[in-house]
Amino acid sequence: MSRPLLQLALDHTRLDAAQRDVALLQDHVDIIEAGTILCLCEGVNAVRALRAQCPEKIIVADWKVADAGETLAQQALGAGANWMTIIGAAPLATIEKGHAVAQAHHGDIQIELFGNWTFEDARDWYRVGVRQAIYHRGRDAQASGQQWGDADLARMKALSDIGLELSVTGGLTPEDLPLFKDINVKAFIAGRALSGAANPQQIARAFHQHIDAIWGEK
Amino acid sequence: MSRPLLQLALDHTRLDAAQRDVALLQDHVDIIEAGTILCLCEGVNAVRALRAQCPEKIIVADWKVADAGETLAQQALGAGANWMTIIGAAPLATIEKGHAVAQAHHGDIQIELFGNWTFEDARDWYRVGVRQAIYHRGRDAQASGQQWGDADLARMKALSDIGLELSVTGGLTPEDLPLFKDINVKAFIAGRALSGAANPQQIARAFHQHIDAIWGEK
């Protein structure tokens, strides 16, 4: 099992605010995510600006694409993203087309697991070449009190067994990480836990310390 | 049953190209949609620019929101959209929060029907106040040959019976409209059928002539 990476999700409404947090945190995280809110507010220029700011980082365009997979992958990967997200509710044709464009750019597609997806869907995604998914406890679900539970962990384990590496997100704190010790985690995604903290770099270090303690040092 | 409206979907990657089509067509359509592609490429400025260009039209921000319903509805409606789309795979909490913000702006939420949604989901959407949904034959599904069929029409009828007004989209041509004569259609959405036509205004007139013939003149 590979050592999980740490991903900074930027869900700011303004690019300048996002870029201030990137300046603070880019040496403390592995992946920079142009979040859905940021992208809908600032457009593909957000991806382009983050690529310019972080030439060496993995950049994710969290677009949760539902249709027009080819056009949108061309836009996202063309602007410098390495990975683009597609929502699990998208038609398989959308996923296939997005994946083909991502591969041509030496990039990847990540499936965002929202709504009534099934393990049969997950096997279809794997079959068309997808190797990553994002397991999500939504902001609104969190706010309404939904916690990480055994059912989540069992579903993550089943997705791992299908062959999908998982990134995990949704109000994660460093203290939550031991919950995921048996899962094939690609990345832990933290947004406001990092960028909203009084000392964001200290929180990033705490994430890495927990990752080191559970999965071993780099 | 109310007379269906005609909606122009703008799925351009550039705002200037979208605005050229709006200039040609705004007097021939009822609703202007800032499509997902346009919004991901140009950001919320696309909505703001379309509102400035069309002060009197209904404007839809087709954001297919999956999370952060409150923040995104504030952005979309705050920029001048009347309606914002939320994907059916979103948690009910996201839909509820987006709907509350839309109502506060005297606007509406439209649910985009992608993926494995159920009629139980549809009844939940209705229960939290949503009154509109978008029945979709996706671009990628169209390209892979999926046609409008009896199953689509039966599902639309069942959604109408739950109390949802439907907008219908996906490669529609004026000749397709009689298929929907028994459905409570809010709007027919056309993108490339209009903006990609040699004579877009003529195609818009053909849509209106079919609507008049089936549902009666304005």
| DSSP notation for B137-205 | --HHHHHTTPPP-HHHHHHHHHHHHHT-EEEEESS--GGGGGGGTTS-EEEEEESHHHHTSSSHHHHHH
Largest CA distance in chain B: 44
What are the backbone dihedrals phi and psi of residue B135, each rounded to the nearest 5 degrees, phi first? -95, 125
- Cβ distance A136 to A146 under 8 Å? no
Paired strand residues for B168: B135, B188
> What is the rounded CA–CA span in Å between residue B192 and residue B175?
15
Which pLDDT score, from 0 to 100, does residue A138 have?
A: 59
How many other CB atoms are found less than 10 A from the CB of residue A162?
13
> What is the rounded CA–CA span in Å between residue A66 and residue B169?
14
- Cβ distance B46 to B70 under 8 Å? no
Q: What is the mean pLDDT of chain A?
A: 94
Per-residue pLDDT of B135-178, as tens digits, reads 987 566 667 666 787 888 899 999 999 999 999 998 898 999 99
What is the mean predicted confidence (pLDDT) over B44-64? 98
Tell if the CB–CB gap between A89 and B39 is shorter than 8 Å. Answer: no
Residue A4 scores a pLDDT above 90? yes
Per-residue pLDDT of A195-209, as tens digits, reads 989 999 999 999 999
Per-residue pLDDT of B81-117, as tens digits, reads 999 999 999 999 999 999 999 999 999 999 999 999 9
Residue B46 amino acid letter: A
Q: What pLDDT band is residue A112 in, cutting at 50, 70 and 90?
A: very high
Token pair, residue A109, equals 């597609």
Catalytic-residue membership of A169: no
Say which DSSP state B28 is in.
G
Q: B170 to chain A: nearest residue by CA?
A: A67
What is the mean predicted confidence (pLDDT) over B17-35? 97
What is the mean predicted confidence (pLDDT) over A24-40? 98
Note whether B128 contacts A: Cβ–Cβ < 8 A.
no
- Residues on chain B touching A44 (C-beta within 8 angstroms): 40-42
Q: What pLDDT band is residue A151 in, cutting at 50, 70 and 90?
A: confident
Q: What ipTM was reported for this prediction?
A: 0.95
Q: Which domains does chain A have, with CATH numbers?
A: 5-215 (3.20.20.70)
Token pair, residue B114, equals 């992608």
Which pLDDT score, from 0 to 100, does residue A1 have?
A: 65
Which pLDDT score, from 0 to 100, does residue B139 have?
A: 62
How many other CB atoms are found less than 10 A from the CB of residue B150?
8
- Residues on chain B touching A116 (C-beta within 8 angstroms): 89, 115-118, 121
Look at A143-157, B15-29, B139-153 and tell me which has the smallest mean pLDDT.
B139-153
Task: Among A70, A116, A140, select the one facing B115 at the smallest CB separation.
Answer: A116
Q: Taking Cα atoms as reference points, which of A58, A33, A31 lies closest to residue A46?
A: A33
